[in-house]
Every structure is written in structure tokens, then in C-alpha cells.
Amino acid sequence: MTTITRERLLTIQSWRETYGPGSNVVLPAEEAEELARITLASLDAKPVGWTDAEELRGIEKDGCGYMFTVNPMTAHVDQRRVIKLYTATPGTVVPEEVPATLRDEIIDLCDGYEIGDVGAQEIWSACRLFMIQGESLPALV
């Protein structure tokens, strides 16, 4: 499965501005497939609950509010007030093993150093730790 980063999505989004409306651009089949999978999953998503603006104000003011069940939805609910709630999409999974193409690129970038596959995996593992934990890690100086 191809992982599409936020930066890649922003690049794709800017193509119309970059190349002009009506321009044909090339998108790798793997990326097109992943974008289609993500889009279809969001189109097929079902709400897990609902709330309304009054409950959201309660959350903002008091730190808590009520979420109502969707199935079955209460018969007397005012549909105009319903704000449907969906589960968040799962985060991107960062593979434990360095992808082969990236491994080769890491080895090429370390030209002059004999790091080999093991060294490339160690570099990947360190980067993976930062990708997973993000800002929770202390800054290295």
C-alpha cells in the first residue's frame, strides 16, 4: 500500500494553479489507487453518533457535552439541529522495515560510508521513532 503524505497531497492540490486549468498531469497508479481508497472510505463512512450546537457550546464552556446515539435515532429529534459525528480516520502506519526503494536511497545518500542494509535500517528506525512520536520527543541539539 502506498502512503500519501500531507505534503504530497498539497503538491497535487496545487497542480491546477501550477499548470493551469484543463492541464493533464500524470499521477502514479499506486497514488491514484490510494486516493480512490481513501475517498471511497470517507464516502462510505457512517456516523457513530450525533450532537447539536447547544451541546458543543456546553463542551466549550464546561468541558463536557452529550453525544446521542445514531441507531436508532430518536423519533422526536429535530433533523435541522443534528450534527453527525464520525470516527477519526486512523493515522498513517509507518512500516517497521525500511522500504526497499528508500533503503537504496539512504545508502546512496551515505555515499562514502559503508552503512549497508543494516545501517540503512538503523537510520530508518531512528526516523520512524520521530515520525511516530512527533513533537513528544525532546529536541536534539
Which tens digits make up the pLDDT trace of 55-100?
A: 889 888 998 888 888 887 778 888 888 898 888 766 667 788 998 8
Would the pTM count as exceeding 0.85?
Answer: no
CA distances, 120 to each of 115, 124, 127, 134 (Å): 6, 6, 11, 21
Query: What is the number of structural domains in the chain?
Result: 3
Is the preceding peptide bond at 21 cis, omega within 30 degrees of 0?
A: no
- Residues 106/124, Cβ–Cβ less than 8 Å: yes
Which tens digits make up the pLDDT trace of 11-47?
A: 888 888 888 888 888 888 888 888 888 888 888 888 8
Q: What range defines the domain where residue 57 resides?
A: 49-85
Q: Assess whether 54 and 36 both reside in one domain.
A: no
User: Taking Cα atoms as reference points, which of 68, 71, 75 lies closest to residue 51?
Assistant: 68
Task: For residue 69, give every residue at least 6 positions away whose Cβ sits within 8 Å of its Cβ, in sequence order, or none.
Answer: 49
Q: Assess whether 24 and 4 both reside in one domain.
A: yes
Which tens digits make up the pLDDT trace of 114-132?
A: 899 999 999 999 888 887 7
Comparison of pLDDT for 141 and 1, the residue scoring more: 1
Q: List residues bridging with 49 in a β-sheet.
A: 85
